[in-house]
Copies of this chain bind each other. A is one copy, B any other.
Amino acid sequence: MRVLGVDPGLTRCGVGVVEGVAGRPLTMIAVGVVRTPADAELGQRLVAIEQGIEQWLDDHRPEYVAVERVFSQHNVRTVMGTAQASAVAMLCAARRGIPVALHTPSEVKAAVTGNGRADKAQVGAMVTRLLRLDAPPKPADAADALALAICHIWRAPAVNRLQQAHAAHRRDQLSSRKVTR
């Protein structure tokens, strides 16, 4: 399974591609940052993010895109830009028919470090270890993007099982309704 993780932001969008399956060693394919100039107009910045994400999708052909789920609670000043950058990333993936998964920051931290309230340094250290890198990826947005991709690979079996269980439950409900009719 090849996953592009996106840590969305207007100034810096962290992007990282990881390949592997749960329970086996993972491989980092690429990591980087899509940047846009803070003094450009908002529309132009969104176009630049679109071009950057498109390039990453072209270059690495991921089967899934995992984007950080944005909450409006924390940091009200930057949250609008984060939401807008995440919208562009989701749009680029969905337009190509690539499934998009959203994971919260605490889900990502819990998946990678075992602690949903881990700090940036812990996340960076675990990403470095899990992908057998020489040093933590810089900036932190790039490490967070890899953590998102790892989280998706590890959570995917559980998420799929959950979806299958829901589907089975719905089928059971439908067949029991048929019986009672």
> Which A54-87 residues have C-beta < 8 A from chain B?
70-73, 76, 79-80, 83-87
Interface check A95, CB cutoff 8 A: yes
Identify the stretch in A27-35, A37-45, A138-146, A172-180 within 8 Å (CB) of chain B at 4 or more residues.
A37-45
Chain A interface size range: 20 to 34
Pairs A–B under 8 Å by Cβ, sample size 22: A41-B94, A42-B90, A43-B94, A43-B100, A44-B94, A46-B87, A46-B91, A47-B95, A50-B91, A70-B80, A72-B79, A72-B80, A79-B80, A79-B83, A80-B83, A83-B83, A84-B84, A84-B87, A85-B87, A87-B87, A88-B88, A88-B91
Instruction: Tell me the A residues contacting B by CB distance below 8 Å.
Output: 41-44, 46-47, 50, 70-73, 76, 79-80, 83-88, 90-91, 93-95, 100, 102
